[in-house]
Structure 1
Amino acid sequence: MSEHPAVDPAAVDAVTVEVVRSYLLAAAQEMRTTLVRTAFNPVIYEVLDFGISLYDEHLALIAEAPGLTFFLGANDFSLRKGVEHVGRENLHPGDIVMLNYPYWNAAHAYDATLFAPVFLPPESTETSGGDGFLVGFVCVRAHWMDLGAKDPGYVLDSTDVHQEGLLFPGTKVYSRGEPVRDIHDLIRFNSRLPDLVLGDLHAQVAAIRTGERRLLETITKFSKPTVDAAVAVVRARSEARTRAALAALPQGSWTAEDWLDDDGITADPIRMRVTVTIADGTFTVDFAGSAPAARGPVNMPFGATIALCKVVLKALTGPDEPGDEGSTAPLTVLAEPGTLFHAVYPAPTFTLWTGIVALELVHKALAQGMPDRVPASSGGDVPGFMMVGTHQDTGEFYAISNNDPVGWGGTAEHDGLDATIHLSESTVRSTPLEVLEARSGMLFERLEMRTDSGGAGRYRGGVGIRRDIRFVQPGEFLSVIKKTGSAPWALDGGQQSDPNQVIVFPGTERERRISTERVVVEPGDRITLLTAGGGGHGDPADRDPARVRDDVDQGLVSPEAARTVYGIGVRDA
């Protein structure tokens, strides 16, 4: 947590606190709107794979806008590392700094973080220097589609970070308001998709300029002391609320284990272990006992590990409140450097699906102490895929990706959601089918709910989907899943659900099942994706028969499963 100077909360009334808070949240939201409307890449404007946040001059989070769930906590780590690298004394009005060095950026190399210092102009304060007075920072992180890694698209089998693309440790892309042409050229000539990547860079710049403008307007309208006092009140209130919520939960330590399918290099499963402790208003997550750093690109930058733990803490203690520095102040995350959850140079980090599986691992540990507060496993993973190639209509190289929905785990109070983006990315969307078809060589012949894929229970797990793809152009299909070898877990007597499956060339002598792999495809080839359902919660025998019949009517549960699993006779349609 950042150090904050003493501020007198009595200096601002409750109404002003809420008005200032709303101004700051609106600034973040307007940054989000600007980014979505100006981005070139559908993973940004359709999927919403980005993170947007505002900070005070002490690098403490004061507001953020919805984006990729993991990114809501990752920008904090990145900004602090970036400012440390550049040096505050080297930041000036109009500067924008880019950071994608994984170990400092809390993400892989294709998640580009841009941040800018915000200065009040010299005429606004008597104590400022020639640059004015530093009052905060704005930050926009977004996924770029190519920065010159060894392979186009996702890098699935790198053994060194330098195989994963061009790296920026905190490099100015704008200096005093002017683009640094050498850096822009460096990006352009090291990307397979230069127009797309530079277009997204400029969209992030537009969002940053929007945030700068709105933050300055807020400070000018209310005064810096008033804004500081309002932010301090909100931060203290958030921290107190989080600690009180933790104190109301069961106290203790719980340990859980799980396994990744592989590291992309060998077929050996990768061990994950976590111990979660709730005590005296604190939340500690310790990954001791997890595997050492893997040879392949499944290693987690420590900032990304912290971010996934922030997601769990926020969901437990204040899911309906906007996040700020105070809401995660009680969190401590431990992971030994050089292990799976604390990658150090030059460990490869590109396939960050480890964090998705690990979020459910933390839930699995918590479920031992509070099975009524966390869901059963929600599919276990995010089933991702990508296609890269040369489009026959344009003759240009393309890369396009999608993350498919899964079934969420049942809870002590309700069924899991059907066909919904995994809870680790619950604020984003799948790429629309029409966009995928128009921009690639894929034709989707089937997209439907996957009957009986949810785990049975008093409250059943949600169902996954089936997606059948026929390829109409040659290219490479990339499957990215790290949880196919074991079924999503259930709770309190519920049943496990079907795991994720990727079937390449179904119905031919080449048919086989894969998890994370790059597959060369030709026109006429097919691939079937079967995404996992959620685990069930509670004994299936206790399920309301009316709910079972309704599930059968909707095609979510088959008549046979209704009879054999739930003991409910339902006439076949």
Structure 2
Amino acid sequence: MTTSAMETAVEVEQRYGFDLIDLETVRYGLIEIAREMNDTLTRGSFSPLARDIRDCTSAVHMRTENGWEMLASHEGCVQHAFTSPHIVNFTMSEWDESTLREGDVILVNDPWRGAIHFSDLNVLQPIFVDGRLEFVLHSTSHVADLGGPIPGGFANGAQTTFEEQLKIPPTLLYAGGVAVRPVFNHLLENNRTPNLLLGDVRALAGSLSVGASRLNSLFERYGLGHVRASGEYAMDLAEAAMRRGIATVPDGDYVITDSLDEDAIVAEEITLQMTLKVRGDSMEIDYSGSSRQPAGNVGTAWIESTRAIIGTKFILDPASPVNSGTLRPIEALLPPGSIVCVLPPSSCSSHTETGSRVVNMMTQALSEAMGARGIACDTGTSGVAVIGGVDERPGHEGSPWGSFAVPGGGWGGTWTSDGVSACIVSIAANCRSAVNEHVERESPLVIWEHELMPDSAGAGMHRGGAGAIFTIGAVSTTVITITGDRSRSGAPGSSGGGRGMPFYGWLLRGDGSGSTLDPRRAIGAEPLFGVFDENGEPDPDKGTFGLGTTYMGGKVSQLVLQPGDGIRLIVGGGGGWGDPLERDTERVLTDIDDGLVSESFAHAAYGVVLDASGAVDEDATAMRRRDLARLRDQNKWSVPTACPPAWNTATIMEVAS
């Protein structure tokens, strides 16, 4: 039963048995508990994953007639809040509750028990009231390492879970508040960076302790009945808000097909298909028609039952908090043995690209359904780099280390505004890139460059957000694994908008030939992946995918950098919304002045002509736009994919040969 926005305070009190003001107070109190848990986790973590990137979430769950339901969450990485109910329900249904006692903490990271991938550690603490198990607190964080062939997970090339990190079924981590030493030993002795892991696990457990203290204080002040009623009220509010949003979408079946570039094993595209069925104030997400589970590690388990809902939430109900009520109006159908529901022991460590694409597909489906109120896709790839090695610097010799880089791309343009630049994909919304100064202090790396990429945003009446250039140099022998997609083609636009720039990568050798910080001057840089022409220049519209590159896609495993070598990644921007020939010329000029758009791309994509003084020649622009529109009507012109038209890559083919 949901709470209508029109209900009076009297009606609310009749339904829940408590005064509206007190219900609201406790509802926000539950959110603050989750927030304080998450703040404790980020402040106490040792690795950059939770501390800087905020790849973590905390949540409060309550036992109900529907199982365990999430009352409140505070997310760093938004996808964790949507998968948290799975983790708690799978784990608690398996555990013998009669054995649990105050201070116990359960550890689990199994994707087939609701987790995302092995790199995310989940800790659960049961909360008893008058001797009965009533609540469960949950915190999760990506950790820097958990064994396996590649530091930090994302084991590109792995085909089974046996080739990956430690798989942990529900396991007692703390018994009555006391650490279970054999479990800690097992974790630490199968780890490249045990000092980071120990700090992160203690921070996870500490967040639960803080949550338990705050929740017990809430019981003491208001009583169990009041807290339970407030939890039900909170979920009903979230459900009502989501249903109101869905009700604005016209009924219908909206079919979207997209693809992943490859799976790091077979250089073939992998099909993803989604049918969004909207009926009144509810919807169904059906993945039938998607490819069978791949040989490589890009498939996912249970998480795709909820991750597409992230797109729904952002577009239809961006304001209300996320809890189990958010999920109630939506059902998902996952074909077993498909890319979105792989069966064990298939590897699913590189989950980010499938998840990013699923949210892109939901964005496209809702844009099709809502017409002029649609939005364009975000960059559609995480472009994450997992980096590690054994330090060779004086004073650090022999020390294992690990680090992460999430360069960030762009979000799509909308019917009201341009997209946001340098943002991580929406499944990880609220996450940030690593703090570059911390990376340089803690790792033998130098961040040569991290800034917005010119001409990377999809053109449109409202352009997409710009993507990022990220260039790092190695000070010590370094092993790097890159997990990305959208290297065949960039993020799609909406309502006539253009695509964002695809994902590109280059290797910069230590002789200094490729060390320039101008990404368009790539002399001496060796292309790793992307779409290139016969001269070795990026050309997403007329070039060939993989021409002259080392890899057939953006999933690079265990590339060794010697001191002085570097890696440059360009993560494309979001798609554009609307006809770019209708973009206000002054906004185009502002983008040129800000360095986001070059004059040549403005001329090619927006039809904007500048005079000798650098101002817009409005008459010449109007004439060119009419000419381009006429050519488009004759199918002789289309909006070019975002990419700098001019490159200086004269010696790339010589290096490659």
In 2, Cα distance between equivalents of 1:148 and 1:565:
47
Closer, same or farther in 2 for the Cα pair 1:315/1:432, shift >3 Å?
A: same
Inter-partner Cα distance in structure 2 for 1:10 and 1:474:
62
Question: Are residue 403 (structure 1) and residue 409 (structure 2) matched?
Answer: no
The question of 1:189 aligning with 2:189 is answered: yes
Superposed CA deviations along residues 176-204 of structure 1, whole A, max 9, x for unmatched, are 22211111111121112222112111100
| Mapped partners of 1:201, 1:49: distance in 2 | 14
How far has the Cα of 1:440 moved from its partner? Answer: 2.6
Pair 1:398–1:572, CA change in 2 (3 A) = farther
* CA positional deviation for 1:568: 2.5
Contact 2:305 2:334 survives alignment (8 Å): no
Work out the CA distance in 1 between the residues paired with 2:36 and 2:565.
44
Residue in 2 that maps onto 1:94: 103
**1:328 maps to what in 2?**
327
Give the match for residue 338 of structure 1: 337
Which of 490, 499, 502 is the matching residue for 1:496?
499
Residue in 2 that maps onto 1:421: 424
**Which one of 434, 453, 466 corresponds to residue 463 of structure 1?**
466
Give the structure 1 partner of residue 555 of structure 2. 516
In structure 2, do the counterparts of structure 1 residues 34 and 325 end up closer, same or farther at CA, with 3 Å as the change threshold?
same
- What's the offset of the Cα at 1:425? 1.6
Are 1:441 and 2:444 matched, yes or no? yes
Please state if 1:45 is matched with 2:58.
Answer: no
> How much does 1:297 deviate?
0.8
Amino acid at match of 2:304: T
Aligned residue in 1 for 2:119 = 110
The change in CA–CA distance for 1:313 and 1:561 in structure 2 (over 3 A counts) is closer
TM-score, length-scaled by structure 1: 0.94
Letter in 2 for 1:21: R
Name the counterpart of 2:82.
Answer: 73
Q: Secondary structure at the match of 1:357?
A: helix
Larger Rg: 2
- 1:374-385 to 2 correspondence within 5 Å? 374-385=374-385
Q: Which amino acid aligns with 1:190?
A: N
CA distance in 2: counterparts of 1:164 and 1:372, whole angstroms? 45
Structure-2 residue corresponding to 1:543: 583
Counterpart for residue 204 of structure 1: 204
Once the 2 structures are TM-superposed, how far is the Cα of residue 468 of structure 1 from its aligned partner? 2.5
Q: Is the 8 A contact 1:314 1:328 kept in 2?
A: no
The superposition leaves residues 246-285 of structure 1 with CA deviations (integer Å, 9 ceiling, x where unpaired) of 1122211111111111112121211111111111211211
Taking every aligned residue pair, what percent have the same amino acid on both sides? Answer: 27
Offset, 1:495: 1.4
Give the SS at the match of 1:502. Answer: strand
Q: Which stretch of the first structure deviates more once superposed, 346-355 or 152-161?
A: 152-161
Is 1:79–1:139's contact at 8 Å kept on the other side of the alignment?
yes
Answering whether residue 312 of structure 2 is matched by residue 313 of structure 1, we say yes
- Which of 82, 87, 91 does residue 91 from structure 2 map onto? 82
Aligned match for 1:450, one of 449, 453, 472: 453
Q: Distance in 2 between matches of 1:64 and 1:510?
A: 44
What is the SS of the residue equivalent to 2:125? strand
2:573 corresponds to which of 511, 533, 557: 533
* Distance in 2 (alpha carbons) for counterparts of 1:210 and 1:470: 40
CA–CA separation in structure 1 for the residues paired with 2:455 and 2:259: 24
Q: 1:163 corresponds to which residue? A: 163
- The amino acid across from 2:382 in the alignment is V
The 8 Å contact of residues 507 and 525 in structure 2, kept in 1 or not, is answered as: no
> Alpha-carbon deviations, 1:303-322, whole Å to 9, x = none?
x1123123123223321111
8 A contact 1:97–1:172 mirrored in 2: yes
One-letter identity of the residue aligned with 1:407: G
Aligned-pair CA distance for 1:447 = 2.5
Check the 8 A contact 2:49/2:55 in 1, yes or no.
yes
1:94 CA displacement = 1.0
Q: Quick check: 1:371–1:412 contact (8 Å CA) kept in 2?
A: no
Instruction: Give, in whole Å, the separation in 1 of the partners of 2:568 and 2:125.
Output: 44
Do the aligned partners of 2:410 and 2:419 also contact (CA within 8 Å) in 1?
yes
1:128 corresponds to: none
Q: Which secondary structure does the structure 1 equivalent of 2:61 belong to?
A: strand
- CA shift, 1:441, in A, is 3.0
Partner of residue 54 from structure 1, selected from 52, 60, 75: 60
1:55 shift after superposition? 0.8
Deviation of 1:388 after TM superposition, in Å, equals 0.9
Is the 2:59–2:72 contact (alpha carbons within 8 Å) kept by the matching residues of 1?
Answer: yes
Counterpart Cα distance in 1 of 2:172 and 2:309: 29
1:24 paired to 2:64: no
1:466-491 superposed Cα distances (whole Å, 9 cap, x missing partner): 22323222111211102211221111
Matched residues in 2 for 1:521 and 1:336: separation? 41
Structure 2 CA distance, aligned partners of 1:510 and 1:15? 63
Aligned-pair distance for 1:8?
Answer: 6.4
Structure 2 unmatched runs, 5+: 2-12, 509-513, 515-522, 530-550, 616-657
In 2 relative to 1, CA 150–560 (structure 1 residues): closer, same or farther, beyond 3 Å?
closer
Pair 1:8–1:215, CA change in 2 (3 A): farther
CA positional deviation for 1:402: 1.6
Distance 2:281 2:200 in 1: 41
Q: Map residues 480-491 of structure 1 onto 2, 5 A cutoff.
A: 480-491=483-494
The residue type paired with residue 489 of structure 1 is P
Deviation of 1:509 after TM superposition, in Å, equals 7.9
Range 502-511 or range 471-480, more displaced: 502-511
Give the corresponding residue for 2:359: 359
Note the aligned Cα RMSD (angstroms): 1.8
Q: Secondary structure at the match of 1:219?
A: helix
Other structure's SS at 1:18 match: helix
The structural deviation recorded for 1:366 is 2.2
Q: Secondary structure in 1 aligned to 2:568? A: strand
Structure 2 distance, partners of 1:110, 1:418, is: 28
> 1:64 pairs with 53, 57, 73, which one?
73
C-alpha contact (below 8 Å) 1:478/1:517 kept by paired residues: yes
Task: Give distance in 1, aligned partners of 2:250 and 2:501.
Answer: 31
Q: Which moved more, 1:248-257 or 1:310-319?
A: 310-319
Q: Following the alignment from structure 2 to structure 1, what is the Cα–Cα distance between the partners of residues 103 and 307?
A: 32
Q: For 1:341, give the aligned amino acid.
A: V
Q: Could you tell me how far apart the structure 1 residues matched to 2:39 and 2:566 are?
A: 37
**What letter matches 2:166 in structure 1?**
L
CA distance in 1, matches of 2:410, 2:222: 46
Alignment length, in residue pairs? 557
SS of the equivalent of 2:567 reads strand
Provide Cα deviations, 1:418-441, integer angstroms capped at 9, x if missing partner: 222222222110001112222333
Distance 2:253 2:470 in 1: 40
Aligned 8 A contact 2:52 2:432 in 1: yes
What SS is found at the alignment partner of 2:370? coil
1:47 is paired with a residue whose SS is coil
AA in 1 matched with 2:599 = P
> Is the 8 Å Cα contact of residues 117 and 137 (structure 1) preserved in structure 2?
yes
Which stretch of structure 1 is more off in the superposition, 240-249 or 96-105? 240-249
One-letter amino acid matched to 2:556: E
1:10, CA displacement in angstroms?
A: 4.2
Give the Cα–Cα distance (whole angstroms) in 2 for the partners of residues 314 and 33 of structure 1: 24
Alpha-carbon separation, structure 2, partners of 1:563 and 1:508: 29
Contact 1:443/1:472 (<8 A) preserved: yes
- The answer to whether the 8 Å contact 1:473/1:522 transfers is yes
Contact 1:391 1:439 in 2 (8 A): no
Q: Which residue is equivalent to 1:291? A: 291
The CA distance in 2 between the partners of 1:83 and 1:284, in whole Å, is 27
Deviations 1:315-348 (A, max 9, x none): 2332111112212101101111111111221111
Q: Write the letter of the residue equivalent to 2:440.
A: E
**Amino acid corresponding to residue 378 of structure 1 in structure 2:** D
Q: Which residue of 2 aligns with 1:129?
A: none
- Contact 1:313–1:328 (CA under 8 A) maintained in structure 2: no
Alpha-carbon spacing, 1:509–1:501, altered in 2? closer, same or farther (3 Å): closer
